[in-house]
Structure 1
Amino acid sequence: MALMKKKADLLLHPVRMRIVQALVEENMTAYGLIHELKDVPQATMYRQLQTLLKEELIQVIEEKMVKGSVEKVYGAVKSAVNISREEFQAYSNEEHLHFFLTYHTHLLTEVQNYLLHENKTTDFGYGFTPFHLTKEEKKDFFVRYKALMEEFSSKAPHEDRTKLTLATIFIPTTE
């Protein structure tokens, strides 16, 4: 149980979360990550990369010599950076509140960075959509939702593609 909690705490650290998200999308060097996550100081980047490596949430994909130094290319260990349904359900309500606050703070930072640094908001939006579903309809919805997410999230970065982040929160209503 302690290992599961440690994994969530590791992944929900604000800087580590951003590093893992970047490495899920694309393998990168430390220099590439520093360029991508411009507000993360170099020393912090290297410290967090070491933590993620030690905990086997990322791995060195490749090492190459560049100007007499070894340059490492990092990638996420995709099977390790996901929290299973069993792990997720093992957390207490208080832990979920803590994790949600961390997630929400990260999301708020992403929105703030977008709105303060971009003039275009055509692809930006948020909303609230209630569903009224039977158990079978809910099951069908999640199967189809998962398939749709897998189809579109598996597309590799390309010059013709614009990155769009979808943040989801499913909240059952108690009636």
Structure 2
Amino acid sequence: MDTKEVMDCFINPNKSSILFLLQQKKTCTAKEIMELKPDIPQATLYRTLKQLTKVGIIKVVAERKVRAVVEKTYALNETFGPDVQTIITENNGAGYLQLFHSFMMSLLSEFKSYAERETIDILHDGSGFSASPIYVNEAELQELAIKMNELIRPYQTRSENSEVNQKLHTMAVIFTPPEE
């Protein structure tokens, strides 16, 4: 799988729009995508679906005959992308960027779903984001990550003795590579 071709899928607005939709809906036919994304011309949609399938980012999960044509149902390919350990071992920058992009797409999907609800309460729903500069060496960064993991561990499962109104949130912590 060519990394440049894969990155194009995330940069191209039509391709990324289709990927985002498939991430939300899990599966869609071309007809469903056309209804949900009317701004993508039909010919462009079919060409894009073919390219995304060829690259291996999406896959056909079902086919059914509708009159004289075969209707395909598409989904994201869960096996898409290089192995994380291989990326780390090989110091594969393009693969690392691809993993980060997938991570960010997942977070963006959650924020988009939240923002599209009919009623939201940003102040009281427990949502937000921030960035804080920190100065650490490698050992301190590892220590910080371990302490944060220990701190959140009790909150990763629903408490049996807790109030009924516990809601699932996703907490994302990002340590960027160090500045030079």
In structure 1, what is the Cα distance between the partners aligned to 2:17 and 2:68?
Answer: 29
**Cα-Cα RMSD:** 4.6
Matches within 5 A, 1:131-146: 132=134, 134=140, 135-139=142-146, 141=148
Counterpart residue number, 2:19: 20
Q: Calculate the TM-score normalised by the size of structure 2.
A: 0.55
The Cα of 1:89 is off from its aligned counterpart by 4.7
- Deviation (angstroms), 1:3: 2.1
CA distance, structure 2, for counterparts of residue 38 and residue 23 of structure 1? 15
Equivalent position SS for 1:43: helix
Measure the CA separation in 1 of the matches of 2:172 and 2:45: 24
**Which residue of structure 2 lines up, in the alignment, with residue 128 of structure 1?**
130
Indicate yes or no: 2:76 matched with 1:76.
Answer: yes
Deviation at 1:165, TM superposition (A): 10
The alignment-based identity, stated in percent, is 24
Map of 1:160 onto structure 2: none
Structure 2 distance, partners of 1:131, 1:6, is: 34
Q: What TM-score, normalized by structure 1, do the two folds share?
A: 0.56
Deviation readout 1:85-127 (Å, 9 max, x if unpaired): 72895338xxx7xx98xx8xxx7xx98xx98x98866359653
Q: Partner of 2:161 in structure 1?
A: none
- Aligned mates of 2:148, 2:18 — CA distance in 1: 31
Q: Does the Cα contact within 8 Å between 1:11 and 1:81 map onto a contact in 2?
A: no
Q: Which residue of 2 aligns with 1:6?
A: 5
Alpha-carbon deviation of 1:36? 2.4
Aligned residue type for 1:71:
E
Does residue 1:47 correspond to 2:44, yes or no?
no
| Equivalenced residues, count | 145
Deviation at 1:76, TM superposition (A): 1.2
Asked whether the equivalents of residues 19 and 33 of structure 1 are also in contact (C-alpha less than 8 Å), the reply is yes
Aligned match of 2:63: 63
Query: Which structure 1 residue ranges, 5 or more long, are not aligned?
Result: 152-163
**Equivalent residue letter for 2:145:** K
- Of 170, 173, 176, the residue aligned with 1:171 is 176
Q: 1:139: Cα distance to partner? A: 4.9
Spell out the pairing of 1:28-39 with structure 2 (5 A cutoff).
28-39=28-39
Specify the code of the residue in structure 1 equivalent to 2:13: P
Tell me, yes or no, if the aligned pair for 2:59 and 2:75 is still in contact at 8 Å: yes
Does the 8 A contact of 1:24 with 1:78 survive in 2?
Answer: no
SS of equivalent residue, structure 1 residue 44 = helix
Give 1:140 shift.
5.8
List aligned pairs for 1:147-166, cutoff 5 A: none
Unaligned residue ranges in structure 2 (runs of 5+): 158-168
Inter-partner Cα distance in structure 2 for 1:35 and 1:167: 33
Is the 8 Å Cα contact of residues 16 and 48 (structure 1) preserved in structure 2? Answer: yes
Instruction: Name the larger-Rg structure.
Output: 2
Instruction: Tell me the SS of whatever aligns to 1:73.
Output: strand
- Larger RCO, structures 1/2 (Cα 8 Å, 6+ apart): 1
Any idea what SS the aligned residue of 1:53 has? helix
